[in-house]
Amino acid sequence: MSQLLDTYLSLIKKMIPQSVIEPSIGLDIGIDSCKLVELEKRGNSFVVLNWGVEPIENVDVSSAVKKLLKRLNIESRTVRTAVFGKGTLIRFIEMPRMPLEDLRKSFDLEADKYFPFARDQIYTDTCILDPRGQEKQMSVLVAAAKREIIHDRIELLTNLGLSADFIGVNALAIANVFSALPQDTSQKEPSPVVLALLDIGEMVSNLIITVDGLPGFTRDIFVSGQELTRRISNALEISTQEAKKLKCHPQGRAQEILNICDAVLLNLISETKLSFDYFMTERNISISKLFLTGGTSMLEGMNDFFAKNLDVKIEQWNPIASLKLAEGASAQEMNEYAGRLGVALGLALSRYD
């Protein structure tokens, strides 16, 4: 069983020899697009060799991945990818301190206590968040994914002539960026540094709260870009495709689009605030800043809307800000798509953790 777990599902930490020189490829397969980041470590820096975003048309994921690989001239057949949404779960628990291998064996027998799935229906893995702690209890992150989701992803990649040496969970891939590439924070930030990130996707929004760069809370909020698109489509009596284009490029109608999406966004903010209140009550620490990311977060006026309705500093997240680009790459173009690249970047970085 442990070999299957190591093959099919990993968390954000995976030790590998530091002498590895082959580039690492993170492939984020979403609902409306596929995103890829090819990364190489040079000394203490990371260099983006290649990146791309390819729309998924007519629910044809295979064609989108093929186009992406061909357009970017990707030669490697090994990628790192992730799954998300219903059928995936993350938990933070306290357990008696023990070595990681003993933890995995112990948790394998107790998984039913933490996940609402039968043990034979899921793959799980664990990560000790405070491995150097001296306390008798230790903080543990555990994740699960239904086997059918993992098998479907492996089948998709296999049919494309690809293999995955890492399959993770979207929220943890994003948290990995915070861990590997510390975010720019003010010198006056209190200790510990507690940051939140809301990845507003097309089907689900992932909320991640990190404490000194390590994940301390995650939640899937099922308020997403699809709902905004439907609202725009219904209000303006236009097609879904037209509504999606208008959402991304409001063409001077940003305030009108925000007004149409008002109820959905307030619902998302309400759920985010509930999570903040729960986390701060449980941990007795405050959240310094909320970063917004994901394709839907790029809706014009989104930052101001959140700032007006949520009592915390708001900032648009640029996960690639501290990275170097390969010669000939356009920094301006990549920055335009930066909000969509967080998961793919986190997956690529996981190879070097």
In tens, the pLDDT along 225-240 reads 999 999 999 999 999 9
Class of domain 183-317: alpha beta
Q: What is the mean pLDDT of the chain?
A: 88
Please report, for the chain, the start and end positions of each structural domain, with discontinuous segments joined by +.
1-181+319-353, 183-317
- Under the banding of pLDDT at 50, 70 and 90, the label for residue 178 is confident
Average pLDDT value for residue range 5-31: 62
The residue among 328 and 119 whose pLDDT is bigger is 119
pTM comes to 0.88
Select 1-181+319-353's CATH number: 2.70.180.20, 3.10.20.30, 3.40.50.150, 3.30.420.40.
3.30.420.40
pLDDT digits (tens, 9 = 90+) for 246-263: 888 888 899 999 999 999
Task: Identify the weakest region by mean pLDDT among 9-18, 106-115, 171-180, 288-297.
Answer: 9-18
* pLDDT of 33 strictly over 80: yes
* 1-181+319-353 and 183-317 in the same fold: yes
Residue 12, pLDDT score: 39
Task: Write a three-state SS string for the chain.
Answer: CHHHHHHHCCCCCCCCCCCCCCCEEEEEECCCEEEEEEEEEECCEEEEEEEEEEECCCCCHHHHHHHHHHHHCCCCCEEEEEECCCCEEEEEEEEECCCHHHHHHHHHHHHHHCCCCCHHHEEEEEEECCCCCCCCEEEEEEEEEEHHHHHHHHHHHHHCCCEEEEEEEHHHHHHHHHHHCCCCCCCCCCCCCEEEEEEECCCCEEEEEEECCEEEEEEEECCCHHHHHHHHHHHHCCCHHHHHHHHHCCCCCHHHHHHHCHHHHHHHHHHHHHHHHHHHHHHCCCCCEEEEECHHHHCCCHHHHHHHHCCCEEEECCCCCCCEECCCCCHHHHHHHHHHCHHHHHHHHHHHC
